[in-house]
């Protein structure tokens, strides 16, 4: 494990040692203000992190929401808790700017991933400062006395420190900083802080749909997730969609003795292996007919951004112990702008010391297809199902009876999910170009990607009809979703400057 982290840190240190001096006046003002208020910023952060925030813990979620609303009110920002029945509250806040002609909505979430406290080095809701990363023998240290500076490489350990309470603290500190500097917002500003993102946002779309006017705006800024692994600022213009397809190939009615019936009764594990092998070539190119037909090609500016993304593939291969990659030589940054077809898992009979000499009764594979802009989830799932038929399978969507099974040489049960389409805000929209300019004036040259590899629901687009752009601030090595989650303080300081710049655009 140690080697793993050393590789990461050498990579990060080598590429991001230079500090950038903002040309953005609000970011610059935020830097000066922060240098004199570090203890107060961290104190407010620690108090928020000390409130347990697992989405299912309704009582503490309410305490979080009320605390954040109070933090907004303390700054004179009108706040309220907005929810639908059974939903955790979205904390809403608003800064109205006289004469403003547009509204920017800043999104973050205050709930954290579920956890097992036994796995943590220090309790997850007792925020703990360490002098460096735990994996590099970071030691617990007390907060420095007021007036003493914090070492920016120190890390604060707590659930949600990075994912995703840090942006909330950064936004509010940025509000303090720009006001102290006498700077004004130019747009109307709204804040939307969700309390069940880590539970899959089960009520966000409903909450927004029931309060469309309240959350209406011209741009939805998603402040969540980590920076690029090089520690450069990342700007994400979307995410891939997803659709899942589960395939069960049926064999004999029950497991058969492999000696008595081997090479007579067809083996469903072999049939499934052949079927899966027919779906992709050796370069990872998907062979399902029409799979790539509907893809919206990248624009010139998006292609350039992909080409300009740092080449970290050799480092990643060393880190993951990979001897090869798919894609026929294409970089990871380009491959995530294309769809993928992946086997999530496979099962048939038993293996290892549970293995028995049988012909299995069935073999199952679970696939996920990551979609890009233009692809419809259901249509794509149907293309996969057509492909399965073309390989000679009779496809059913539930357990068939004896008659169906005996009438067809090859039978597969195939079930697909509803899926989620991809999101891609065009990089050449005027608002996209403005965000890029403002972010780079605060943080230096950014890594810009048309979409991330992962999937999130496009609530801003689908429910509110506005473009969304992702602006993360967390360190890439923050252990988010795992134990010992942490935030590197320099990321918080940079985040404050970034938010100051965005709040004044």
Cis amide bond preceding 171, omega within 30: no
| Interface with Zn ion, residue 164, by CB under 5 A | yes
Per-residue CA distances from 418 to 45, 67, 84, 244 (Å): 39, 37, 23, 8
Stretch that binds Zn ion, among 31-39, 160-168, 286-294, 314-322 (CB under 5 A): 160-168
**Only segment of 12-20, 135-143, 216-224, 355-363 that touches Zn ion (CB under 5 A):** 216-224
Taken as a whole, the chain contains a residue count of 505
Q: Which is nearer to Zn ion, 108 or 174 (CB)?
A: 108
Please, what is the minimum distance in Å from the beta carbon of residue 407 to Zn ion? 50
Stretch binding Zn ion (CB under 5 A), from 69-77, 221-229, 312-320, 384-392: 221-229
When asked if residue 477 is in the footprint of Zn ion (CB under 5 A), the reply is no
- Cross-strand bridge partners of residue 416: 245
Identify whether the C-beta of residue 342 lies closer than 8 Å to the C-beta of residue 319.
Answer: no
Look at strands 140-141 and 128-130 and give their pairing: antiparallel
CB 69 within 8 A of CB 91: yes
Identity of the residue, 318 or 481, whose beta carbon is nearer to Zn ion in the bound complex: 481
Order of all β-strands in the sheet with 362-371: 340-347, 362-371, 241-250, 411-416, 394-396
Eight-state DSSP code of residue 293: T
410 in Cβ contact with 363 (< 8 Å) = no
Nearer to Zn ion, 224 or 420 (CB): 224
Which residue, 375 or 469, has its beta carbon nearer to Zn ion? Answer: 469
For residues 193, 198, 201, 204, the Cα torsion angle rounded to the nearest 10 degrees is -10
Instruction: Indicate whether 224 belongs to the interface with Zn ion (CB under 5 A).
Output: yes
Min dist. Cβ of residue 197 to Zn ion (A): 6
53 binds Zn ion (CB under 5 A): no
HEC readout, 120-135: CCCCCCCCEEECCCHH
163 contributes a contact to Zn ion by CB under 5 A = yes
Smallest gap from residue 111 Cβ to Zn ion (A): 9
Tell the smallest beta-carbon distance from residue 225 to Zn ion (Å): 6
Closest distance between Zn ion and the C-beta of residue 113, in Å?
8
Least Å from the CB of residue 476 to Zn ion: 14
Name the one range near Zn ion by CB under 5 A: 27-35, 217-225, 415-423, 463-471. 217-225
Indicate the residue among 163 and 302 with the shorter CB distance to Zn ion: 163
Contact range with Zn ion by CB under 5 A, out of 14-22, 99-107, 162-170, 274-282? 162-170
Q: Whose Cβ is closer to Zn ion: residue 198's or residue 440's? A: 198
**How many amino acids of this chain bind Zn ion (CB under 5 A)?**
3
Query: Segment near Zn ion (CB under 5 A), from 18-26, 157-165, 350-358, 491-499?
Result: 157-165
Q: Say if CB 227 and CB 475 are below 8 A apart.
A: yes
In the bound state with Zn ion, the residue whose beta carbon lies nearer, of 167 and 241, is 167
Contact window for Zn ion (CB under 5 A) among 69-77, 158-166, 321-329, 397-405: 158-166
Residue among 38 and 194 whose Cβ is closer to Zn ion: 194
Positive or negative: CA dihedral 248, 251, 254, 255: negative
Identity of the residue, 168 or 363, whose beta carbon is nearer to Zn ion in the bound complex = 168
Minimum CB separation of residue 479 from Zn ion in Å reads 13
317-349: burial string, b at 16+ Cβ within 10 Å, e else: eebeeeeebeeeebbebbbbbbbbbeeeeeebb
Nearest to 437 by CA among 389, 502, 359, 366: 502
Which residues in this chain contact Zn ion in the complex, by CB under 5 A?
A: 163-164, 224
């Amino acid at each position: 494990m140690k080697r793993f982290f050393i590789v990461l840190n050498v990579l990060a240190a080598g590429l991001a040692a230079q500090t950038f001096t903002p040309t953005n006046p609000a970011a610059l003002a935020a830097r000066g203000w922060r240098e004199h208020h570090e203890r107060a910023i961290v104190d407010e952060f620690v108090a928020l992190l000390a409130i347990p925030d697992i989405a299912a813990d309704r009582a503490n979620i309410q305490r979080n929401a009320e605390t954040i609303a109070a933090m907004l009110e303390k700054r004179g920002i009108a706040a309220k808790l907005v929810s639908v029945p059974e939903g955790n509250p979205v904390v809403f806040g608003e800064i109205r700017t006289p004469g403003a002609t547009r509204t920017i909505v800043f999104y973050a979430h205050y709930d954290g991933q579920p956890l097992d406290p036994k796995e943590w080095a220090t309790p997850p809701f007792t925020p703990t400062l360490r002098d460096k990363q735990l994996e590099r023998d970071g030691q617990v240290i007390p907060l420095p006395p007021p007036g003493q500076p914090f070492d920016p490489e120190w890390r604060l350990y707590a659930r949600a420190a990075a994912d995703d309470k840090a942006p909330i603290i950064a936004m509010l500190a940025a509000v303090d900083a720009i006001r102290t500097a006498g700077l004004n917002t130019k747009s109307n500003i709204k804040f939307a802080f969700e309390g069940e993102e880590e539970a899959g946002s089960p009520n966000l779309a409903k909450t927004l749909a029931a309060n469309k006017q309240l959350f209406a705006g011209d741009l939805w800024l998603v402040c969540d997730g980590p920076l690029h692994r090089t520690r450069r600022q990342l700007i994400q213009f979307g995410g891939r969609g997803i659709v899942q397809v589960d395939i069960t190939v049926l064999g004999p009615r029950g497991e058969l003795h492999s000696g008595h019936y081997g090479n007579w009764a067809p083996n469903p594990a072999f049939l499934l292996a052949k079927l899966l092998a027919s779906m992709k070539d050796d370069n990872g190119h998907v062979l399902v007919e029409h799979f790539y037909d509907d893809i919206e090609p990248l624009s010139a500016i998006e292609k350039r951004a992909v080409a300009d993304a740092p080449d970290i593939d050799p480092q990643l291969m060393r880190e993951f112990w990979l001897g090869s990659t798919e894609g026929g030589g294409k970089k990871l940054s380009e491959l995530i702008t294309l769809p993928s077809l992946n086997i999530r898992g496979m099962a048939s009979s038993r293996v290892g010391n549970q293995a028995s000499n049988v012909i299995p009764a069935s073999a199952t594979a679970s696939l996920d297809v990551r979609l890009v802009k233009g692809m419809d989830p259901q249509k794509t799932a149907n293309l996969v199902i057509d492909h399965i038929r073309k390989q000679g399978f009779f496809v059913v969507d539930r357990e068939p009876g004896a008659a169906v099974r005996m009438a067809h040489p090859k039978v597969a049960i195939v079930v697909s999910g509803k899926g989620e389409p991809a999101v891609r805000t065009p990089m050449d929209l005027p608002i996209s170009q403005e965000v890029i300019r403002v972010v780079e004036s605060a943080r230096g040259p950014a890594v810009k990607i048309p979409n991330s590899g992962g999937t999130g629901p496009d609530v801003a687009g689908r429910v509110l009809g506005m473009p969304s752009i992702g602006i993360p601030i967390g360190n890439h090595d923050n252990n988010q979703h795992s134990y010992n989650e942490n935030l590197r303080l320099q990321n918080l300081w940079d985040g404050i400057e970034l938010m100051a710049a965005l709040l004044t655009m």
